[in-house]
Amino acid sequence: MHAPDVINGLAIEVTGLAKHVTSNQARLTILSGLQLAVPQRETLAILGASGSGKSTLLGLLAGLDTPSDGKVLINAQDIALLDEDGRAALRGRSMGFVFQSFQLLPSLTALENVMLPLQLAGRDDAAGQAKAALNRVGLEQRATHYPRQLSGGEQQRVAIARAFAPKPAILFADEPTGNLDAATGQRIIDLLFELNAETGTTLVLVTHDAALAARCQRRLQLIDGRLEPI
């Protein structure tokens, strides 16, 4: 699962994407007519103020949510043509995630958390690969610890190990330093980009932190439901 699914193609292609939500009879448009093309191996930052729809966009790109209109193609696969399980399988095959709130399962150890996506993908040596991934983020000593026994930075490193362990084609990161202090955040970012460079993964980073965004090859800003270059 090293190589991206489509050589030299686009990792993500989005056309005319729109998302509306209806509440109290009022229709609220979060995204509309959004276009985006992300080549393989690119690192892209999406910036935006709070409430601008960054997380909604991320959810749509990852197939966690369905658009009101428009198309999302992941490695040339139209995700609208897949059912919920199909989208889940696609995520398992080609995507990794790093979240602001780490999203480790409190009932699993660090190692078991890293093993989870590997197991779901049916990898033979889930434990071995997970251990290697924990090694890479420097947490081999913490493998049997539960999330509550780890600091915030350690938890995010486990999450990064989990994201990279299955060697996904695309990695989505949602404010990965949002819950961390500046120094820890810096170390997490270094780690994220190091691993990204090693594996050649396409990275889509959602943040409101301009300094973090500056480390990406391309930066787009989400304003009024559309993406604009900075």
Q: Does 70 bind other proteins (CB under 8 A)?
A: no
| Interface region with other proteins, contact rule CB under 8 A, candidates 18-26, 53-61, 208-216, 222-230 | 53-61
**Measured in Å, how far apart are the chain's first and last C-alpha atoms?**
34
- Asked if 82 is part of the footprint of other proteins (rule: CB under 8 A), the reply reads no
Q: Is 127 in the site for other proteins (CB under 8 A)?
A: no
Among 5, 42, 65, 140, which residue sits at the site for other proteins (rule: CB under 8 A)? 65
For residues 52, 170, 41, 49, the Cα torsion angle rounded to the nearest 10 degrees is 10
Contact region for other proteins (CB under 8 A) — 27-35, 101-109, 190-198, 220-228?
Answer: 101-109
Site size with other proteins, rule: CB under 8 A: 33
121 in contact with other proteins (CB under 8 A): yes
| Residue 81: C-alpha distances to residues 22, 58, 162, 193 (Å) | 24, 19, 28, 32
Is 105 a binder of other proteins (CB under 8 A)?
A: yes
Residue 2 in contact with other proteins, rule: CB under 8 A: no
Distance CA 164, CA 171 (A): 8
190 phi, psi to nearest 5 deg: -55, -45
Of 45, 116, 130, 189, the one binding other proteins by CB under 8 A: 116
Specify whether the CB–CB gap between 90 and 63 falls below 8 A: yes
Q: Is 89 in the site for other proteins (CB under 8 A)?
A: yes
